[in-house]
Amino acid sequence: MKAKELRLGNYIIANGSIEKINYITPATLGYGEKEFAPICTSDYKYFEPIPLTEECLSGFGFGKTTTNYFELKLDNGFFLGAYILWQNDSGEYEVIFTDESNNELIVVKYVHQLQNLYFALTNQELKLK
């Protein structure tokens, strides 16, 4: 996981528990270049992404409409659809997000990616229901 993938409000695993990025501070990362690193209860290098699962999609308000399809109605009337492509032995999913016309937007595997996608599309935070 790279620090530049994360922003305020993202959920991650740090020290074995789910944490929320609450603040960001400047840090020097490799080669002396200045970047912004999220700081939580531990160093960002030890952060792990939270795998996207059916439970996560439901928790964020996605409704299951068919065996492998979830959708979320956005405030602007559009729908964000999620097709579950596969599930591995750990119960982790790879999910393809589509618009209301089933145009592929992006493949997402982790909660922070879903949060970032939602924010990019709506300029609002994705909240747990």
pLDDT tens across 95-111, in order?
A: 777 766 777 778 888 99
Fill in the DSSP letter of residue 86.
E
Both 24 and 73 in one domain: the answer is: no
Report yes or no on 33 lying in a domain: yes
Both 7 and 63 in one domain: the answer is: no
- Residue 86's pLDDT band (boundaries 50, 70, 90)? low
What average pLDDT does this structure show over 39-56?
73
Both 18 and 72 in one domain: the answer is: no
Q: Which residue has the higher pLDDT, 92 or 18?
A: 18
- Residue 42's pLDDT band (boundaries 50, 70, 90)? very low
Where b means 16+ CB within 10 Å and e means fewer, 101-111 reads eeeeeeebebb
Task: Enter the pTM of the model.
Answer: 0.76
Question: Where in the sequence is the domain holding 30, given as residue range(s)?
Answer: 3-46
Both 36 and 64 in one domain: the answer is: no
Report yes or no on 24 lying in a domain: yes
Percentage of residues of the chain with pLDDT beyond 90:
8
Task: State how many domains the chain has.
Answer: 2
Side chain identity, residue 73: K
Report yes or no on 27 lying in a domain: yes
